[in-house]
Amino acid sequence: MRLWLVIFLGLLVSACSHPPTANQSSTQVARADVFIQAGHEGRSSGKMGSTSQFGREIDWTPVVADAATHYLRQAGFSVIRADANWKQKTDTDLALFIHFDGSANPCATGASIGYDDPSDRPAANAWKRLYSQYFRYRWQQDNFTKNLSQYYMFKHTRTRDAELVLELGAIGCPEQALWLRPRLPQLGQLVAHFAAERMGYGNRIPRPQM
């Protein structure tokens, strides 16, 4: 066998044995049932998320995202679990981006939701109906900031149902933060229940007790 052919085959095997990681750009499309991103996770500079005396958004979002991923996978769903540096194109039923809000006036904001297309509105309304049964505090209008309606990750996600930014509450508002902080894993279970319900299998993942 000629030397150039041996080298070519070696490079081909090496490339096949190292698929793109979560933070690598790729022309390939990653496919799964659900895409879940923990907002700000994986960053050491730039947009690091909201902070307060009660905690940091960059620490809270992975807890929710990891719990949601755990419950979904345990129920038999495939999940792409991403951080803030994800760049690969994805094809899923649902894409959910986990965040907590912050503002100069800590209690001027609360829970909210973002999406970039009217086709996402039914899923957004379903989430608000569900989360409102637990979260009894302030809600903002849909897409009340450009960061919600023009979320940077929307360009990477293609969905059959919806892609939603879920702002779960204000991390700097004492009343909200003290309710949120001990319930982060349960919030992940609620997100997982919501995703399963949107795919027609809500009975696979029970609602959490909160």
- Domains of the chain, earliest start first: 31-41+48-204 (3.40.630.40)
Cβ within 8 Å of residue 168, ≥6 positions away: 64, 98, 99, 100, 111, 131, 135, 180, 187
How confident is the prediction for the chain on average, in pLDDT? 89
pTM value is: 0.87
What pLDDT does 20 receive? 40
Mean of the pLDDT values across residues 173-178?
A: 98
pLDDT at residue 16, rounded to an integer:
34
The pLDDT tens digits of the residues spanning 98-155 come to 999 988 898 999 999 999 999 999 999 999 999 999 999 999 999 999 999 999 999 9
Phi-psi region of 130 (alpha: psi -120 to 50; beta: other; left: phi over 0): alpha
